[in-house]
Structure 1
Amino acid sequence: MAKFVAFAAILVALAVANAVPIKQESAAQKARYAMSKTSWVSIATISTTEGIQDYPMVNVKSTADAGTGIPYLFFSDLDLSVIDINSNPKASILATLADGDCVEGSLDPQDPRCPRLILTGTVVKVEDSQEEKLARSALYANHPDMEMWAGVHDFYISKMNIERVTYLGNFGGADIIDPSEYLATKL
């Protein structure tokens, strides 16, 4: 039994020593940090593509959260994901620190200590002009090439109306965070 306890203590020490050093304390703060640090996300939709209708479909999208925690996206109706969303707006978005903090901490992207944020909800076009201006500014700051896309293929700003927030950043399972708490949390 003593050997098991010693082994468990070593595992805990290694987990703490190699965890991504996020200064935020609450799960909501950690989730907001993950969203604020990412410049791209994976978006999963329900496919409308011939031959794989109703299957999950995933795509990579550039993003910015404009300090809000909301993933803003630059869309064209010609995009496969957008075609799916126009048919069924339900989606999940995965943000990860795999290309930043986890690389610096020498963590594999699948390591539970490499933070992942999964937002689930519906994707909608941003209609409010002030919000659209804020989102456009943040997207252009993160992705300067987007400014050239603006007049091509009718690109527009979309966002996720968040219904569920799932954060995984260590051993022991995921944290489910109330969306209102996530959105109200400040970094």
Structure 2
Amino acid sequence: MSKAAEAEGYDRLEEAYSRTKAARAKRTKCIFIIGYVLVTLSFVAVFMTLYMGRRGVYVASGASKTYWPDPPPHDQVAKVARYIVHISEWGSIATFSVAPMIEGFPFANILSLSDGPVEVSTGIPYMYLTPMDLTSHDLKNDTRASLSMSEAQSDYCHKNKYDPESPLCARILITGHIVKVEEGSAEEAFAKNALFSRHPEMSEWPQGHHWFFAKMNISHIYVLDYFGGASVVNVKDYFDAEPF
């Protein structure tokens, strides 16, 4: 065999090898792309299954977002009351105003609340107040107050297309007296943990505002969680119930 023929043979072999190598590379790339797409689709499918199949609700407030079980059945009214109080991060509180322009009128305000850390429910609404707040001014004169909380605070009513005023979007209306928690007591330590664990921003609020912990001593409870009007919940039954 001449050198020219030998060189031509080598060129053909090299060309065939290059084609084979390119084909393998292309096949490997295709396999990688197909594998990547399948893995991605699998993750999406798992995520959608978990998301679409997720039961429960969440409450978002400030920097926190907490997931909770679905509400109890509407006929377990005391349990519904405890549920709403425990999952609520804030409520509307009404006092008797002492402000000169509106003295004697009911005065509603929004307060951040907690009846305990996420894993503990006491049923007692705790709050963090400053003497500078209008509500605190009112409470110095008259400790009576009304407190309202609603399931509209979670995504439950939104998911079910319930208007916040609908009886199916349950709410609780509590009346009682708001009193200061004893300083240095075990209850004050509990109230601090209950509030700060669910409202982390509170720990950074200005100390010069002389914040203090307070609670509502409950006297009367109404719950509206279905058609037919509000139900009266016995206070003892309320504290005996569990939220979940």
Q: Which structure is larger by alpha-carbon Rg, 1 or 2?
A: 2
Structure 1 residue matching 2:182: 3-state secondary structure = coil
What pairs with 1:1-187 in structure 2 (closer than 5 Å)?
22-24=71-73, 26-66=76-116, 67-100=121-154, 101-127=156-182, 129-149=185-205, 151-187=207-243
Is 2:72–2:79's contact at 8 Å kept on the other side of the alignment? no
| TM-score using structure 2 length | 0.66
In structure 2, do the counterparts of structure 1 residues 76 and 107 end up closer, same or farther at CA, with 3 Å as the change threshold? same
Letter in 2 for 1:171: F
Q: Deviations over 1:110-148 (max 9, x none)?
A: 011111111100000011711111111010111101011
| TM-score using structure 1 length | 0.85
The structure richer in helix per residue is 2
* In 2, Cα distance between equivalents of 1:68 and 1:150: 28
* In 2, Cα distance between equivalents of 1:51 and 1:107: 37
Q: Deviations over 1:146-168 (max 9, x none)?
A: 01126231101100000001111
Consecutive aligned runs of 4 or more in structure 1 exceeding 4 Å deviation = none
Is 1:48–1:84's contact at 8 Å kept on the other side of the alignment? yes
Is 1:46–1:53's contact at 8 Å kept on the other side of the alignment? yes
Structure 1 residue matching 2:100: 3-state secondary structure = coil
How many percent of aligned residue pairs carry the same amino acid?
35
Count of aligned pairs between the two proteins? 167
Stretches of structure 2 that go unaligned for 5 or more consecutive residues are: 1-69
RMSD over equivalenced CA pairs, Å: 1.4
